[in-house]
Homo-oligomer: A and B are copies of this chain.
Amino acid sequence: MGVTKSDNFSIEQNQIAEFAKAFAHPARVAIIQHLLETQTCICNDLVKVLPLSQSTISQHLNELKRIGLIKGAIDGPKVCYCIDLDVWERAKGLLRNILESIKGCC
């Protein structure tokens, strides 16, 4: 049917998948890296930095906001985005947990 059958998997599995999705596109990786570098919030410098249109970047930002990894603060006509530390830590924990749970292999 084409739809991800989320219901059949655990909450944790869905959460991991959701966080991973944030990093599953090079444009979103670039956005996140930029936010990590500038540390302090940025707004639409991204439009100048990334090879994508304003509307596309806005969509990616919205997706990251939906996932929870970033949050935006309105500042006049601008919106300053930054990493949401709490959510980031949860994502880090979940992903680190699965990445480091390897003990050996065949």
Please give the residue numbers on chain A whose beta carbons come within 8 Å of chain B beta carbons, in ascending order. 4-6, 8-10, 13-14, 16-17, 20-30, 32-33, 36, 39-41, 50-52, 73, 80, 82-85, 88, 91-92, 95-96, 98-106
Q: Which residues of the partner chain B approach A95 to less than 8 Å between Cβ atoms? A: 23, 95, 99
Quick one: closest B residue to A50, CB to CB? B8
Copy tally for this chain in the complex stands at: 2
Report how far A84 CA is from B105 CA in the complex, Å.
8
A14, A29, A51: most-surrounded residue (chain B CB, <10 A):
A29
Q: Which residues of the partner chain B approach A32 to less than 8 Å between Cβ atoms? A: 98
Selected contact of A85 from candidates B5, B17, B28, B102, CB within 8 Å? B102
Report how far A26 CA is from B20 CA in the complex, Å.
10
